[in-house]
Each structure stands twice: as structure tokens, then as C-alpha cells.
Amino acid sequence: MELTGRISLRDNRSLSKDEFARASEICSAIRKLVDSRADFIAGKGLDPAIALPGNNWDPEADQPFLNRYRHIVAAKYEVINRLRLYAQFSSFDLVTQSMVTGGREVPEIPEDFDERFEKQFPKPDHWIDRYRMITRFVPADIRARFPRVLGEIGWEIDGHPVNHDVYAYQERINLMFESGLIDELRRRVRTNGSVRILEIGGGYGGLAHALTGLLHGAVKYTICDLPESLLSSAIYLGVTHPRLGHRIYDGADPANLSVPDEWLGFRYVPNYLFDDFCGLGEPVDLAINTLSFPEMTEAQVRYYGQRLKGLIGGGGVLFEQNEDGRWMGLLDCKTILAESLACRHPILPKTIPVISKGRADLWSMEPFEMIVSPERRPFGGAGLRIRLRVWRAFCLVRAPGLGLVRLRQALQARLSPAVFRGLKKIWNLFGGRMKA
Ligand SMILES: C[S@@+](CC[C@H](N)C(=O)[O-])C[C@H]1O[C@@H](n2cnc3c(N)ncnc32)[C@H](O)[C@@H]1O
């Protein structure tokens, strides 16, 4: 896994005229959805507590998302062409290379951005090290590749950019691989021609891109999200997967949501129209929620839990990676999901020394062992498991920063949210920088 240099804006290809025209159409479609949302919800008698953005997305909250949405939807070429610098969903800001959880600023990208950036960040950060660690034990066809387009900046490994977000999505892919899910999805593709994936809260579409790549495009991938975020995923995936179908659902006619068996591609469903998707009665092979449920209100998570129960039914699975957000005034979504979903199967990482955020679980309506038998999972041999355990311990010694993250996670899991919040305050008082 050779690091061969850096990837700057100048190394990104620019969007073509046609690509920009398509992105502009997406901006108009999404703007219409957002502008008519309140009337639509009232007209249909939908529950505003479920349908309107809540919690972290409340327009009154201290949150960086809304202004970024407004910046992107204005459809200027120089903004769309560098979408990844504005569409920030992982808390990690590519421009400042730091965690941003509040504030209203939208980054300014000067003409000499590359020169300034390279001076300010001359060396690869620890996410690059961590990426190399977690890809060490997974086969090459389990590595997600992100293209040099739309402002993807980072360090070049095996010819592709790597940065915090690439790390984060690779981590999720590793967890799915370790649990045997990727193998099971590939088996279903061979049998049925494609798999149905539903992602609730898909951000800019990074994980959707990664999974679609690993499954060679054989997906019917539905993203249910706030329209403000569908803007970024529809543009990103439209550019990175031009040969697949792309449909933005506007609620005019539920028939527009149904697709023929041979259809492959992405459907973008605004959160307040999710019941129309559920009404199709399509079973879902894999549902996904990562770092999103805690952002929502309790009522919203309960709503999704109840619907996921029917969607994943017998053979489907929900992959969920979230943290207990109570210490920062958000939710512990796992207790709410347990009200609706019968079986919980924690994934204890083998190829990841320290998981970046939260804990990963597979939820299903029948024991996960009946969906993917333990013998079909990788890393089954005792010798290899011991080797991986020793390797993970060694990584913590080699990178003491990781050891601290591990300690923080252990405390977070064991202490009450109030005590953990107090501890965080004291830590930061003495110069620590624990944000989220
Ligand atoms: C922190 S981002 C995480 C994005 C991505 N899953 C990831 O892991 O990088 C949270 C996502 O949840 C979405 N979200 C917030 N409220 C939602 C709701 N009520 N229904 C669906 N998605 C929602 C946001 O729009 C955003 O895409």
C-alpha cells in the first residue's frame, strides 16, 4: 500500500458541460422540494414532528449544514465542481482538516487554495496511517476507490485519494466484510442479478458509492434523507455513476418510485415521502444507518425502526453504526431500535484497531446466524484471530493517540452520559480538544 503523493484540486478533473447541466437540474428539483415542503406536509396531513428536519438539523440549532446547502443549491459551477469541500457530513471539514460540528461558515476557496493548503498541511495526517492499518488485512477487492473529481483532495494510495472520509467509509466496508455481509450481498447479486439497499441518512453518498463499486453496480440503491442532503448525494452519485439510473422522487405519483426488475441505480427519497417507498412492498436486502439516527429526534428514530421491521423482514439486515449521543444532548438510538427489531448482533472489529465513532450492530428479524452462517465469515481460524488481536494491541502502542481514543470510548460506554460530559469539560479545561 504505497503512498505516492498528494491529490490536490489541480489533480481533479473538471466537470463537463453536460455534467454541470445535470447537476443544475438536480439543484432546481431539490430547491422545489425544499420550498414546497411545509405546504406539502400540511396538505397531506403528515406529522411535522417526523417530517420536518429535527434535532441537529433544526434551522435554529448551531449547525453547519443549512448554509452549506444554500451555497450548493445556488448552482454555481465553481461550487458544484468542488462539491466535496462544501458537502460536509462526517463532521470532518476537508478544507480545514478539522472536526466542525457547529458554526455557520461556508468555506471560501481562494484561487491559490492548493498552494496554501499544501503549506499548511505538508504531511499526511493520522487518518492516512489509520487507513493503511485497516486495509492491511482485507483483500484488494474489498477496498473502496474514490475518484478524483468534485474536489476530492487527500493523499494518493494505490492511485486513489485517501482522506478522513475515505477512511470512515472503508471502516464501514471492513465491518460489513468481517461480518460476512459483503460476501452475502455478492451471493445475492449472483442469484438475483442485483441487491436492494436502503440507506437512511446517506450524507453525500460516500458509502453508497463505495458499496456500489464493490458490487459492480448491481444495486437498486435507495437513499432516504432530508432533501437538503439528497442534493449532495444526487449530484455526487450522478457524476460518479453516470451509467446507472437516477430518480429523485417528488411525491407527485408513487408509481414513479417503482422500477422494473432489470433496473439498476439510485432512488432519492425525501424523508417525508418515505411511506410511499414503504408502500411499494419491496423487501430490502440491506438497510444502513451510520452516524445519523442520533441526529434525529426520538420520534423520528422510532418511526424508522417501525418501518425497517417490515422492510428487512425475513432475510434482510440493518447495518447500524452510531454512538450513544446522550452525553452531547443527542440520542441513544439503539434502545429505540430495540423496540422494533428483534435481533441485535454486535460486530466486534478484527481488522480495525479502534473504530472511529460509535459501535456497529447488525439488526434483523431472525438471528443473523440464519442469514449468514458463522462458517461463511472471514477470519474464522483461531491462529489468525490471535494474530489480529496481537496486531491491534501493537497498533495502539505504536500510535498512542489511538490508545487515547480507545480509552475515551471505553469510558463513554461505561460512564453515565452526565458523568462523561463532566469528564469531557475537565479534559478540555486542561487543554484537551474533545469535541465529538
Ligand atoms: C452526520 S450525517 C451522516 C452521513 C453518513 N451516513 C455518514 O456516515 O457519513 C447525518 C445524515 O442524517 C440525515 N438526516 C437527518 N435527519 C434525517 C431524517 N429525519 N431522515 C433521514 N435522514 C436524516 C442528514 O441529512 C445526513 O445525511
pLDDT tens per residue across span 313-337: 989 999 999 988 887 777 889 999 9
Over 90: is that where the pLDDT of 129 sits? yes
416 and 365 inside one domain: no
Give the Å distance between the CA of 415 and the centre of ligand 1. Answer: 27
271 and 407 inside one domain: no
Nearest partner of 365 among 345, 347, 336, 348, judged by Cα: 345
Which pairing describes strands 343-346 and 359-364: parallel, antiparallel, or unpaired? antiparallel
- Cα Rg for the chain, rounded, in angstroms? 21
381 and 405 inside one domain: no
pLDDT at 434: 64
161 and 189 inside one domain: yes
271 and 336 inside one domain: yes
pLDDT at 28: 98
> Which H or E element spans position 199?
strand 195-200
* Residue closest by Cα to atom 27 of ligand 1: 203
Whole-angstrom CA distances from 153 to 101, 163, 200, 233 are 20, 7, 26, 18
Over 60: is that where the pLDDT of 436 sits? no
173 and 232 inside one domain: yes
For residue 436, how far is the Cα from the chain centroid?
16
Give the Å distance between the CA of 398 and the centre of ligand 1. Answer: 34
For residue 322, how far is the Cα from the chain centroid?
11
* Residue closest by Cα to atom 13 of ligand 1: 201
CATH number of 234's domain: 3.40.50.150
192 and 114 inside one domain: yes
Residues with CB under 6 A from ligand 1: 53, 57, 89-90, 200-203, 224-226, 229, 271, 290-292, 295-296, 300
Range in 27-31, 61-65, 417-421 the model is least confident about: 61-65
> Helix, strand, or coil here: 4?
strand
Please give the tally of structural domains in the chain.
2
58 and 171 inside one domain: yes
Nearest partner of 290 among 168, 386, 385, judged by Cα: 168
19 and 92 inside one domain: yes
Q: For the whole model, what pTM was predicted?
A: 0.94
pLDDT by residue (tens digit) across 67-103? Answer: 899 999 999 999 999 999 999 888 899 999 988 877 7
Mean pLDDT along residues 357-371: 95
Whole-angstrom CA distances from 320 to 70, 106, 180, 353, 368 are 29, 29, 15, 19, 14
The boundaries of the domain holding residue 25 are 1-385
Beta strands in 236-377 (DSSP E): 245-248, 265-270, 286-290, 317-322, 343-346, 359-364
307 and 409 inside one domain: no
Mutate to test the pocket of ligand 1, among 226, 228, 268 (most ligand atoms within 8 A of CB): 226
Give the Å distance between the CA of 114 and the centre of ligand 1. Answer: 30
